[in-house]
Structure 1
Amino acid sequence: MTEEEAARWMLREYDEFGFIYQEAAAGHLFQLNDEKLAYFDRSSNLCVGKGVLAIFNRLTPTAVYERSGKFWRRRLETDQPGRQQ
């Protein structure tokens, strides 16, 4: 799977459910055994690959990242400006 394909998979999940959890996305992508798709950071957290994330962010310009819950979701009227909430 390429980074583009991985980001589009994330987009399909996001579109279907209205949100996607970072841990679930990274876990799914990690099973593909490609560090470009998912990797462990210095704190041993499983993360979505930086290239995948950049493409996903480009594909979802109105999505916000809920830091407390570690997931991307659709923007609400009550959200502050910016991508992270």
Structure 2
Amino acid sequence: MENNDIAQWMLKKLSKEGCVYQDDVVDYLIKSKDESHLIENADGNQVLGRPLLNEFLKLTKDDVVWVRSGFYWRYRVAEDEPGRNARG
């Protein structure tokens, strides 16, 4: 799969469920036997690689925020401050 294919899948999941968890994307890639888009972070966890994140950002730059405390993306609401990260 290409980065755009996965980013489109993430966007569909976000549209359907209102949020998309990083762990769900990691699980999807592992089950699809396509771990080439994953990296290991400092804590030893598999996370999405920068090229995939950049592709998802292209699709969602103005409409979606990352909720660091929950490790998921959701649609932006009026209360969100400018930028990609949301509080919470």
TM-score of the alignment, normalized to the shorter chain, above 0.5 = yes
Q: 2:45 & 2:85 partners in 1: Cα distance?
A: 19
**2:67 corresponds to 1:66:** yes
Offset, 1:41: 1.9
TM-score (norm 2): 0.84
Percent of matched pairs sharing the same residue = 33
Q: Is the CA contact (8 Å cut-off) linking 2:29 and 2:35 kept in structure 1? A: no
1:75 corresponding residue in structure 2: 76
Q: Secondary structure at the match of 2:74?
A: strand
Q: Deviations over 1:55-80 (max 9, x none)?
A: 01110121000111110000111111
CA contact (8 A) 2:37 2:49 kept: yes
Partner of 1:41: 41
SS of 2:66's partner is strand
List runs of 5+ in structure 2 lacking aligned partners: none
Q: Secondary structure at the match of 1:36?
A: helix
Cross-structure match for 1:24: 24
Report the Cα distance in structure 2 between the residues aligned to 1:16 and 1:23, rounded to whole angstroms. 17
Find the aligned partners of 1:9 and 1:18 in 2 and give their Cα distance. Answer: 13
Tell me by how many angstroms 1:10 deviates. Answer: 0.8
Deviations 1:11-65 (A, max 9, x none): 1111111210011111211333334322322321120122111101110121000
Matched positions, count: 85
| Higher share of residues assigned helix | 2
Greater alpha carbon shift after TM alignment, 1-10 vs 64-73: 1-10
